[in-house]
Amino acid sequence: MYEGYRWVVAAERQVVREPLTWPDPGPGQLLLRTEASLVSAGTELAIYTGIHQGLANPNARWPKYPQPMGYMAVARVVATGSEVSNYRAGDRLLTSTGHATFATVEVGSGRFWPLPEGIPAEQAVFARMARTAFAAIAQAEVTAAQSVAIVGLGIVGQIALRLFRAAGAHPIAGVDPVTMRRQAAARGGASRLFASTEEAAPALRTEWDGGADLVVDATGWASALPGALALARDAGRVIVLGSPRGTAADVDFYTDLHRRSLRVIGAHDSGIGPRVRDGFPWTTERVVPACIAYLSDGRLPVADLITHAVPAERLPELYHGLLEEKERYLGCVLLWQS
């Protein structure tokens, strides 16, 4: 038996440490000890503050209070089941597991991937978030020499920006009201920076021959969609990457979308799944190893995005900071082992 704890949101704005005991792994299982886990600010804060759509939807299976938190980690195998032959204690993995001392995973579940030793844990864990951001790359189809505007420069927006740059997009603009985030976007390759879509729209229409070829909305707010539409050139594309909370009441679908022949495309993390779908070849087994390689070879630098890498018991402090001190908090990592 292995003793530790996990972080759980018990009710709105109530995050608690839940003591837990993990048994030895079953025949086809691995028991993992967490090294680092990354806070997914959009999803986790939506659950923590009670605005996630699934909380109020009786037909949704997830999330529900009490909700275990987190889904991105770096971990090591500490024990293997009797039927496991291709993993051993000490193996290092990138995982879709949570903010917990340990985790049990099924071999073949698609929830973990081999991870090389050379990447520090607090950086390596960003490869799992890169899978989320890669959904926008996958839906974009063509990016080389195309202009891209990223609206919302939280972690998923920052990583999307850097992935688009690596994929050949040019030029790139970043839009966010937070100065620190715009500075990070400049380091990541954005050549134009704006505090709002109202500021960006007339500038990009003039400088970019009518607007951006591609706009990525990474804000996580449905109300931001009208502003994102305004940045796209006629017949351009708008990819909704950040899971939108709330409603977009001010969209004039005829004037802002239909008459301009815009394409609005959803790009959710779950779209990159375990199997190839018709016309969509992107799978976790293709994308996640690529994201790990991008971190390893420097094509996706993330060290400068980490504002806080703190002991795991300080998760409540990170939630508060991400909500209330946006000029200081961006990439937040929990460290589970000294």
Same domain, 232 and 154: yes
CATH number of the domain within which 162 lies: 3.40.50.720
pLDDT at 338: 56
Can you name the residues that pair with 7 across neighbouring β-strands? Answer: 17
pLDDT at 280: 78
210: containing domain? 132-271
pLDDT tens sequence across 28-68: 999 999 999 999 999 999 999 999 999 999 999 999 999 99
Mean pLDDT of the chain: 95
* 8 Å CB contact between 133 and 272: no
Average the pLDDT over each of 142-146, 178-182, 258-262, 312-316 and give the range with the smallest value.
142-146
Q: Which of 271, 294, 320 is at the close of a domain?
A: 271
Residue from 41, 47, 11 nearest 219 by CA: 41
Read off the DSSP letter of residue 134: H
pLDDT-based confidence at residue 314 (cuts at 50, 70, 90): very high
| Domain annotation covers residue 327 | yes
Query: Phi/psi of residue 189, each to 5°?
Result: 125, 0
* 8 Å CB contact between 18 and 8: yes
| Residue 204: its H or E element | helix 197-207
Average the pLDDT over each of 86-90, 245-249, 317-321 and give the range with the smallest value.
245-249
Environment class of 90 (CB within 10 Å of its CB; exposed 0-12, middle 13-18, buried 19+): exposed
> Residue 233 carries which side chain, given as an amino acid letter?
R
Average pLDDT (204-213) is 98
Same domain, 32 and 91: yes
Same domain, 190 and 313: no
Same domain, 267 and 136: yes
Can you name the residues that pair with 174 across neighbouring β-strands? Answer: 150, 193
pLDDT-based confidence at residue 242 (cuts at 50, 70, 90): confident
Instruction: Tell me how far apart the terminal alpha carbons of the chain are, to the nearest angstrom.
Output: 21
Q: Which of 252, 271, 290 is at the close of a domain?
A: 271
CA distances from 62 to 38, 52, 65, 131 (A): 20, 10, 9, 20
pLDDT tens sequence across 78-126: 999 999 999 999 999 999 999 999 999 999 999 999 999 999 999 999 9
pLDDT tens sequence across 157-183: 999 999 999 999 999 999 999 999 999
* 8 Å CB contact between 183 and 201: no
Domain count, the chain: 2
How many C-beta neighbours within 10 Å does residue 62 have? 10
How many C-beta neighbours within 10 Å does residue 64 have? 13
Q: Is the pLDDT of residue 262 over 90?
A: yes
Same domain, 265 and 307: no
